[in-house]
Amino acid sequence: MATLSNSKRLLVELTLQEKISLLSGADGWQTQEIPRLGIGSLKVRSIPSTERLSHGPAGARGALSTDGPAAAFLPAPVALAATWSNNDLYAIGKLLCREAKTKAAQVLLAPTICCARNPLGGRNFESYSEDPHLSGTLAIEYIRGVQESGEVAATVKHFVANEQEYQRFTINAEIGERALHEIYLRPFEMAVKSENPPKCVMTAYNCVNGSHMDMCNKLIRETLRGDWGFQGLVMSDWGGTNSTVQSVLAGCDLEMPGPAEKRGKFLLKEMVENPTEELSAAIDASCLRVLDLLQHSKLLGLSPEEAQKTRSRPETSSDVKEHQSLLRRVAANSIVLLRNSSNLLPLTPSRLQGKRIAFIGPNALHGTPGGGGSATMNPQYQTQPLAAFKSIISELGIDVEVNHSPGSFIHKWLPLLDSDQWSLASEDSSGETKNILKLDFFATGDFSGEVVETQYRNSSLLDLFDSAPSFYYEDHNLHSLRVRSQVTPRTTGKHSFGICSVGNARLFVDGKLLIDNYDWKQVGETFYSFGSVEASASMEMVAGKKYQVLVEASTREIPFGSTTSDDPIHVFGVQPSVRLGFIEQLPENPITDAVELANRSDITILIIGLNDEWESEGYDRQSMKLPGTQDELVTQLLGSAEHPENIVIINQSGSPVEMDWADDANTIVQAWYGGQEAGNALCDILLGRISPEGRLPITWPRSYSDLPFEKNPETWPGVDGNVVYKEGIFVGYRWYLKNQVAPRWWFGYGLGYTTFEFSDLKIVRLDDRWDISTLVTNTGDHDGREVVQCYSWPLESDAQELRAFGKTSTLTPGQSETISLSINLRDLAHWDIGSQKWALEKGFYNLGIAKCASDKNILQSKVEV
Ligand code: BGC
């Protein structure tokens, strides 16, 4: 009560202008302070404090989009979901809360609980699952972990139906009422109605059934706040506020980021020229919700000086030991063993002793810790598959010979600069600095005048969205920058440089113009599809020689009409962001080299997959095929190796890829993106230190053409601005079951190094629920954990749906454990279009315990409603 009255008291004291100032961000990551009333806040580009929002999906991100202080890099959300572990999600939530605090953040922009509707979705890796029950349940645990200490607020996003990146700012998702409520809204509903609801909800960029989500009265006011009773704050996605008045009326409280593009002076003008009671009341209601969150974050009641100072709370990075082991364990728990038909795994010490091991594949030397886009992070450290393997093997004292051959390259753009090879230009005489790039900014569009700001960076993905000089944000003023570095090639050869830029850019090497991307015409996928396609050029370079590299970049608006994105003057679209890449000449026959190495080795560990360039925000994948020559690499290895049964294939991706060669492979592992502990976690599984316990949170198709999308572009990615969710509630495994299409692997599937049996199914009906229990026995000869999945389906139909799940503790061979689950009667209800309510159909249902969505050995029982 004290909280509310405090906010209400402040509301009375605020002028209209001050109220409006609270309804949009002050900069990329903060809200507006009002020192005279002791309301804390931040100014553009200063170090954090107040309503500091921190990035969510893969870790609590720092101030800058691509550099900034290091943060713990978590396994991707889809990997978290593959653990099927409430405990893991809760522990990760707690870790994130501590991480957010080191970044002085009070709000975490996570979890993402949209649905993996199509395997090509660019941000599938950032979401949990194709199943609303799994997503909702895991989200509840994660949110509980984040919010438990009361210091950090979680944000569920993107509300709702942000299942694709194509035309993401404008696409209209046409979704039938049943699918909307049962599939897409359901995880949000579960989280919001839980005992510990998220404090914030972020609206999606897209439209749903004709209305942009930030101004969707029906879903924000009626459903979220009205039907579900959500009391917290609703914010727009970044640049996703689409109107001045309507979004306020719909109850979207906060426009992000700032400075305001739709509110601020425009909203003030509305209130002065066309004041209405409705708008005034909506402004007050939104202000109150912002104030409540500030109160919760202990940012009210400050002295004016304190309020001002909240701008300069420093960010830190805390690399805590206990976080490392948690991240390693969770990343290992997420790994799914898909096939082990010759029992090659685990590679126990006795199997390895004295052997020659080949590490092959684009992700062997440098594994991929996470997907791209706003989930990009500056990790505290990164463990890589090959290096981790060598280090664990030597710790264990196992004598093996390990060799590496890339076999294939999958970069979409030339790789970002590597700090071992790049350093600041020689004018920096200290010699000690670890930064690789120096950025000199000018307040003019043509490099004239004084240098107004200098920045040093380590990443050559120079995303200036939130870190251009402050004068830029005042009125999107023209500016330019010179970026300097120097490179010392390791080899002599024809090496290549590449540039993608949002503004104009050109690159000089030793004073000579090598790439001119000043007047680019064709938009590409970098910078959320606001940047140009890559312009590249090669030159002869000599090993060990230093070359001076200079990039000149300046502001310009991206050409109207020639872009896959929708709004040319958008928050992401006008600064001179640049991506600089470099690669030394590649070997001529990488596949032949790899096959030769495999043939000289006893065991081959082949690590293939996607990376953060293929799975990212701002664009979807165009194909489910593995990029580059990876399919050929796998086929040749399987076809020409003397002992193909000695090849372990590990795939890293956040969504399914086609594996036409899968039937010829004996050992396949799905490793997702495991964050900074990915390398160690993978080795823990390969070496049998942990038995795989991950289960697929998505169904894995054999081929994209098996799905209904390819032949129906109106269902993906949409036609004329509309995408029709024609499959209704039959998403993921529901669709395969209904259409009797066999995927490669089912939702819920995964093997271990041991086997389990379920027995003794008991179902007890109480007033409003069934209590279900089953005995799980470890029938193999390795320790391990099993996931128990409970599905229901009406007797007359095949509409099977996951209703509950649980996980055993680690069981030793022969050991048993009873797993108890509950299903509420209400969970079997469907959305009744006529009454616009959940309705429970009377009759008989089957409840069954299974190991995956198609499990034929299901233990089942008939129940009556
Ligand atoms: C993404 C959001 C994210 C926001 C801030 C947007 O591009 O869609 O998920 O929270 O940026 O980084």
Comparing 81-85, 430-434, 435-439, 753-757, which segment has the lowest mean pLDDT? Answer: 430-434
In this prediction, residues 298-318 reach a mean pLDDT of 83
Report the C-alpha gap between 624 and 758 in whole angstroms: 35
Ligand 1 atom nearest to 112, measured from its CA: 9
**Residue nearest atom 12 of ligand 1, based on CA coordinates:** 374
Give the active site residues.
Answer: 237
Q: Which residues of 514-532 are buried (b: 16+ CB within 10 A; e: fewer)?
A: bbebbebeebbbbbbbbbb
Query: Using one digit for the tens of pLDDT, what is the confidence trace for 588-597?
Result: 999 999 999 9
User: Is the per-residue pLDDT at 430 higher than 90?
Assistant: no
Residue that the structure tokens 């500056």 belong to? 378
Query: Using one digit for the tens of pLDDT, what is the confidence trace for 487-521?
Result: 999 999 999 999 999 999 999 999 999 999 998 98
Cα radius of gyration (the chain):
27
- Compute the distance from residue 110 Cα to the ligand 1 centre, in Å: 10
CB 441 within 8 A of CB 457: no
The rounded Cα 370 to chain-centroid distance in angstroms is 7
Ligand 1 atom nearest to 109, measured from its CA: 10
Kindly indicate the confidence band of residue 55, based on its pLDDT and cuts at 50, 70 and 90. Answer: very low
- Please provide the DSSP assignment of 759-781 as one string: EEEEEEE-SSEEEEEEEEEE-SS
| Helices and strands (H, E) in the chain, number of each type | 22, 35
Report the C-alpha gap between 94 and 146 in whole angstroms: 5
**Residue nearest atom 4 of ligand 1, based on CA coordinates:** 238
Burial (CB count within 10 angstroms: exposed 0-12, middle 13-18, buried 19+), residue 786: buried
User: Is the per-residue pLDDT at 483 higher than 50?
Assistant: yes
**Residue nearest atom 8 of ligand 1, based on CA coordinates:** 237
Burial (CB count within 10 angstroms: exposed 0-12, middle 13-18, buried 19+), residue 615: buried
Contacts (Cβ under 8 Å, ≥6 apart) of 23: 248, 253, 254, 255, 263, 267, 283, 286, 287, 290
Comparing 48-52, 329-333, 425-429, which segment has the lowest mean pLDDT? Answer: 48-52
Report the C-alpha gap between 618 and 566 in whole angstroms: 11
CB 696 within 8 A of CB 748: yes
Comparing 15-24, 310-319, 614-623, which segment has the lowest mean pLDDT? Answer: 310-319
Query: Using one digit for the tens of pLDDT, what is the confidence trace for 759-816?
Result: 999 999 999 999 999 999 999 999 999 999 999 988 877 678 999 999 999 999 999 9
**Residue nearest atom 5 of ligand 1, based on CA coordinates:** 238
DSSP 8-state class, residue 74? P
pLDDT given for residue 70 in this prediction = 78
Instruction: Please determine, looking at this structure, whether the domain spanning 321-410+588-686 carries the CATH number 1.10.3720.10.
Output: no
Kindly indicate the confidence band of residue 615, based on its pLDDT and cuts at 50, 70 and 90. Answer: very high
**Residue nearest atom 11 of ligand 1, based on CA coordinates:** 238
CB 799 within 8 A of CB 738: yes
Kindly indicate the confidence band of residue 860, based on its pLDDT and cuts at 50, 70 and 90. Answer: confident
| Between 67 and 596, residue with greater pLDDT | 596
Report the C-alpha gap between 741 and 245 in whole angstroms: 48
Comparing 411-420, 539-548, 620-629, which segment has the lowest mean pLDDT? Answer: 411-420
In this prediction, residues 823-840 reach a mean pLDDT of 94
pLDDT given for residue 475 in this prediction = 66
Domain positions in the chain are 321-410+588-686, 422-583, 756-864
Query: Using one digit for the tens of pLDDT, what is the confidence trace for 521-535?
Result: 899 999 988 899 999
In this prediction, residues 365-392 reach a mean pLDDT of 90
pLDDT given for residue 466 in this prediction = 78
pLDDT given for residue 560 in this prediction = 41
Torsion of the alpha carbons at 350, 352, 354 and 356, rounded to the nearest 10 = 170
Question: Cβ of 490: how many Cβ atoms within 10 Å?
Answer: 13
Ligand 1 atom nearest to 618, measured from its CA: 7
Ligand 1 atom nearest to 257, measured from its CA: 5
- Compute the distance from residue 329 Cα to the ligand 1 centre, in Å: 28
- Compute the distance from residue 291 Cα to the ligand 1 centre, in Å: 23
- Compute the distance from residue 165 Cα to the ligand 1 centre, in Å: 12
CB 241 within 8 A of CB 214: yes
pLDDT given for residue 432 in this prediction = 57
What are the strands of the beta sheet with 647-652, ordered from one edge? Answer: 336-340, 667-670, 647-652, 603-609, 356-360, 401-405
- Compute the distance from residue 128 Cα to the ligand 1 centre, in Å: 17
User: Is the per-residue pLDDT at 481 higher than 60?
Assistant: yes
In this prediction, residues 637-657 reach a mean pLDDT of 94
Arithmetic mean of pLDDT over the chain: 91
Ligand 1 atom nearest to 56, measured from its CA: 10
Helix, strand, coil: what percent of the chain each, to 5?
25, 25, 50
Superfamily of domain 756-864: Immunoglobulins (2.60.40.10)
pLDDT given for residue 223 in this prediction = 98
- Compute the distance from residue 126 Cα to the ligand 1 centre, in Å: 11
**Residue nearest atom 2 of ligand 1, based on CA coordinates:** 237
- The fraction of the chain above a pLDDT of 70, given in percent, is 92
Ligand 1 pocket check: which of 27, 162, 213, 238 to mutate, most ligand atoms within 8 Å of Cβ?
238
pTM to 2 decimals? 0.94
- Compute the distance from residue 237 Cα to the ligand 1 centre, in Å: 6
- Compute the distance from residue 753 Cα to the ligand 1 centre, in Å: 39
Domain 422-583: which CATH number of 2.60.120.260, 3.40.50.300, 3.40.50.720, 1.10.260.40: 2.60.120.260
User: Is the per-residue pLDDT at 206 higher than 60?
Assistant: yes
- Compute the distance from residue 66 Cα to the ligand 1 centre, in Å: 13
Query: Using one digit for the tens of pLDDT, what is the confidence trace for 745-755?
Result: 999 999 999 99
pLDDT given for residue 479 in this prediction = 87
- Two structure tokens written together for 189: 């509903």
DSSP 8-state class, residue 103? T
- Two structure tokens written together for 277: 């009671």
User: Is the per-residue pLDDT at 300 higher than 50?
Assistant: yes
- Compute the distance from residue 774 Cα to the ligand 1 centre, in Å: 42
pLDDT given for residue 425 in this prediction = 62
- Two structure tokens written together for 214: 């930030």
Ligand 1 pocket check: which of 29, 527, 617 to mutate, most ligand atoms within 8 Å of Cβ?
617
User: Is the per-residue pLDDT at 562 higher than 50?
Assistant: no
- Compute the distance from residue 159 Cα to the ligand 1 centre, in Å: 12
The rounded Cα 251 to chain-centroid distance in angstroms is 26
Report the C-alpha gap between 304 and 846 in whole angstroms: 63
Contacts (Cβ under 8 Å, ≥6 apart) of 455: 438, 439, 441, 467
Across 547-621, where does the E strand assignment appear? 547-554, 578-583, 603-609
pLDDT given for residue 464 in this prediction = 87
Ligand 1 atom nearest to 373, measured from its CA: 7
H or E stretch at 296: helix 277-296
Query: Using one digit for the tens of pLDDT, what is the confidence trace for 686-706?
Result: 999 999 999 999 999 999 999
Kindly indicate the confidence band of residue 628, based on its pLDDT and cuts at 50, 70 and 90. Answer: very high
User: Is the per-residue pLDDT at 389 higher than 80?
Assistant: yes
pLDDT given for residue 643 in this prediction = 85
In this prediction, residues 109-118 reach a mean pLDDT of 96
Comparing 83-87, 353-357, 546-550, 570-574, which segment has the lowest mean pLDDT? Answer: 570-574
List pocket residues of ligand 1, CB cut-off 6 Å: 55, 109, 157, 237-238, 374, 617
